[in-house]
Amino acid sequence: MGELAERVFDQIEDLPQEAMDFTAPKTGLSIGKLVVHLAWAECQWIRRVTGEETPAELSTLLQAGKLETIYEPLPTSRSALELITLCRRVQREVTLPSLSPLEDPHAEISIQRGQLPKTVIGVLMHLLWHWTYHSAHIGLIRLQWGSDYVWTQEKDPEAS
């Protein structure tokens, strides 16, 4: 999942604010909106696995990415660097510490709202799909904005 996130970060790190806020025609989606949605969703799914609440301050930062408001345009998003930092914060403060102590990835979990994944590994597979799915949206919106993308395979210098 970390690699998929890094690919998204690579897609956006060179973009100016204008590109982050560009709204794809007839969708209401922007790159900035999708990136915060990815971070929000990761927190939501990890919370479903662990039952732990997202820290209040972090939860507030992620509100713009809620599924219920994904198509509502933002007047302006955070910069690419701020969004990358936010996503990495979710990984370091929520995802990794929450999942590290789990011993059985096939353990069944209780999912609210009738969601499909019923095991830890099922949630992780869903998150892999989610990062991949929206990475394609981000690439398309970037093209619609007028910029092509060449993957550089850069890594997070702090990642182990």
For the chain, give every domain's residue range: 2-145
Q: How far apart are the first and last CA of the chain?
A: 14
pLDDT of residue 148: 85
Mean pLDDT, consecutive 10-residue stretches, the chain (160 aa), reads 92 95 87 94 88 88 82 78 96 91 80 68 91 94 90 59
pLDDT of residue 77: 79
- pTM (2 d.p.): 0.86
Within 13 Å and on the Cβ side, how many CA atoms surround 156? 19
Within 13 Å and on the Cβ side, how many CA atoms surround 22? 21
- Ramachandran quadrant class, 113 (left: phi over 0; alpha: psi -120 to 50; beta: rest): left
In the DSSP assignment, the letter for residue 63 is G
pLDDT of residue 122: 85
**Which CATH topology does 2-145 take?**
Four Helix Bundle (Hemerythrin (Met), subunit A) (1.20.120)
Cα–Cα distances (Å) from 138 to 12, 58, 106, in that order, read: 8, 23, 31
